[in-house]
Amino acid sequence: MTEWETINIPRGAYYGSGNTPGQKVLGKVLTYKSDGGTDYSGVTCPLLEVELTEATFTVGKNGDDPLDVGEAVTLTAGQARLRRGLLAANPAVGDLIEIILTAPSGGSGVPKEFSIRIQRGAAIADEPPIADEPPPDPYDEPPF
């Protein structure tokens, strides 16, 4: 008989950047689709889901809400510079990504500025790889 496995569903949240420089997302890329989201105008934009490796906060209707390590956050890159940055970075599942708000919006159509850093494949395995066995020493074999 097959055993039931209970799945612990991680709490998910949408990440919203405020207007305070230094706010950041740092985590393991879970999914990325260059055209998976839509901005406020209904135009497609990148959609990124990250498992946080550092606590942060999201800005919403109720102000700042804390986000803990291990939480999955979804980031819709509808802002022009963030959109271009993610398209250029083209993150993949297992990459470690850091997105930092570096300059707030100046209002009147002045976009926010972001910096993006990525470590390709850095979050693929949490455990160190198993070392390959060394080839046998040809001098250890008995002669014919």
Q: What is the mean pLDDT of residues 19-40?
A: 91
In a domain, 139, yes or no: no
Where is pLDDT greater, at 16 or 42? 42
pLDDT for residue 11: 62
Q: Which domain holds residue 66?
A: 12-124
pLDDT for residue 93: 95
Q: What is the pLDDT of residues 68-99, one digit of tens each?
A: 999 999 999 988 899 999 999 999 999 999 99
**Single-letter code of the amino acid located at 65:** D
Provide the domain count of the chain: 1
Instruction: Count other Cβ atoms within 10 Å, centred on residue 102.
Output: 14
- Look up the pTM and report it: 0.74
In a domain, 135, yes or no: no
In a domain, 40, yes or no: yes
In a domain, 3, yes or no: no
Beta bridge partners of 38: 44
In a domain, 98, yes or no: yes
In a domain, 143, yes or no: no
Q: What is the pLDDT of residues 97-136, one digit of tens each?
A: 999 999 888 777 778 889 999 999 888 865 444 455 555 5
In a domain, 142, yes or no: no
Which structure tokens are listed for 142? 């008995």
DSSP β-ladder status, 72-76 and 12-14: parallel
